[in-house]
Amino acid sequence: MASFSDLFWLMALAAGIASWYRLTRAREVAVRAAASLTKRHGLQLLDQSVGLRSIRLQGVDGVRRLERCYVFEVSEDGQSRESARLWMAGNDVVSFSLPMSDSPALETVVATDSIVHGANVISLADRRRLH
């Protein structure tokens, strides 16, 4: 008969595997979203990959949700490498930062495209005012 500690470790292992699977699926969605964003803005997605940089708990309209930040590298001309960011909540792109064409600074934009983002769009100004 299995003891309580064996059952606990089995459940912890199952939770770890489920979390790993969900993060892997979310990363695949982030890669597709990054490819779509870079193509739309005339940039190249370098290495065809994104990396999870951070996870934060963000409050929007009184509801807390987890947002993940993915970083990736883009190029305008195929020679330079510049960093870009993509914030996602679930499978929706919340906002993204792409390098501006005339300076290496990042330009942050709230996602408004229905292909990349769902129907609920919150402007960056409104979002900052809430917090």
**For 90-118, what is each residue's pLDDT tens digit?**
888 888 888 865 544 455 555 544 444 44
Helix-strand-coil percent breakdown of the chain, rounded to 5?
A: 35, 35, 30
Confidence of residue 123 (pLDDT cuts 50, 70, 90): low
Chain-centroid distance, C-alpha 37: 12
Q: Could you identify the residue written with the tokens 């929706």?
A: 92
pLDDT 10s digits, 6-53: 899 999 999 999 989 988 888 899 999 999 888 888 888 888 888 889
Whole-number Å distance between alpha carbons of 94 and 21: 22
